[in-house]
């Protein structure tokens, strides 16, 4: 299996599908998942002539269960190392949730001249936590409760969280138990310290300057019934900060990508990649 070893000795696992000479698309996953969360979209990309790459963020999936470096600056640096190692150019970035923050920070700090387009889906930018400068944000107590849930009974917490993640607590949901089980399975593969520490990374990192620095087309996609990352404090704010952005809102769609939402999103992603 392919791994990249970073300067601090962390092994980053990645998958590399499709045409090795095709335009590369890098997929960055959400918390607490792994690159496997993007399998459907990776196949879509590979089937359409692209080179599809998805890594497991440090501390997640098959990558080293790191004790340190579970922060957005390090995540972006790890992604930069992967790009350098594979010698990638003309890159399309796709990030869901925490991964949306990762690709935005990477693009702003390392991507000039390498990144062609960016798509974020239910992404955490600009900043989630409530503060004096972000009064519409989510109270810190919500993120404290996530950390408490992880510490008390991570397995049951992930099983319960999958309902909000996929919106199965809403009338008419068609998300299967298998998809909820997959969320639990991928979450339980992640390292304990990374799962806990990444909550601070995705909730308290301010990506406002990163969004403003982007100089390539950006697709910002999100469901308007996202119970994990509220759209009013995410996509609706992010679109105001980017220079060349397109906003796609999916009525009634949850945070997790599945079912009819996934089919609609994938159609829009493919059109964006090919444009």
Q: From the candidates 78, 197, 226, 233, give the one annotated as an active-site residue.
A: 226
- 241, exposed or middle or buried, with CB in 10 Å at 0-12, 13-18, 19+? buried
95, HSE (Cβ side, Cα atoms, 13 Å): 26
- 267, exposed or middle or buried, with CB in 10 Å at 0-12, 13-18, 19+? exposed
Q: From the candidates 29, 60, 196, 255, give the one annotated as an active-site residue.
A: 255
Give yes or no: 266 in active site: no
- 152, exposed or middle or buried, with CB in 10 Å at 0-12, 13-18, 19+? exposed
Give yes or no: 255 in active site: yes
Give yes or no: 29 in active site: no
Handedness of CA 260, 253, 33, 268 (dihedral sign): positive
Q: From the candidates 34, 97, 162, 238, give the one annotated as an active-site residue.
A: 97
Instruction: Report residue 85 as tokens.
Output: 């190692």
| Active-site amino acid positions | 97, 226, 255
């Amino acid at each position: 299996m392919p791994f990249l070893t970073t300067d601090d000795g962390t092994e980053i696992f990645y998958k590399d599908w499709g045409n090795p000479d095709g335009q590369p698309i890098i997929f960055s996953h959400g918390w607490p998942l792994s690159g496997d969360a993007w399998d459907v979209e990776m196949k879509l990309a590979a089937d359409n002539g692209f080179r599809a790459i998805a890594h497991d963020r440090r501390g997640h999936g098959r990558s080293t269960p790191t004790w340190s470096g579970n922060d957005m600056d390090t995540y972006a640096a790890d992604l930069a190392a992967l790009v350098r190692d594979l010698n990638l150019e003309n890159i399309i970035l796709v990030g869901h949730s925490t991964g949306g923050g990762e690709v935005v920070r990477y693009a702003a700090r390392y991507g000039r001249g390498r990144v062609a387009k960016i798509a974020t889906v239910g992404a955490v930018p600009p900043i989630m936590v409530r503060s004096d400068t972000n009064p519409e944000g989510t109270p810190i107590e919500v993120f404290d409760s996530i950390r408490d849930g992880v510490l008390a009974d991570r397995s049951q917490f992930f099983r319960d969280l999958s309902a909000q993640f996929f919106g199965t607590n809403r009338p008419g949901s068609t998300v299967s138990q298998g998809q909820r089980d997959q969320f639990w399975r991928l979450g339980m593969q992640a390292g304990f310290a990374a799962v806990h520490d990444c909550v601070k990374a995705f909730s308290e990192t301010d990506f406002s300057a990163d969004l403003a620095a982007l100089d390539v087309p950006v697709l910002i996609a999100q469901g308007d019934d996202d119970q994990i990352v509220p759209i009013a404090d995410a996509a609706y704010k992010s679109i105001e900060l980017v220079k060349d952005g397109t906003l796609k809102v999916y009525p009634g769609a949850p945070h997790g990508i599945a079912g009819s939402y996934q089919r609609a999103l994938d159609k829009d992603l493919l059109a964006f990649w090919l444009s």
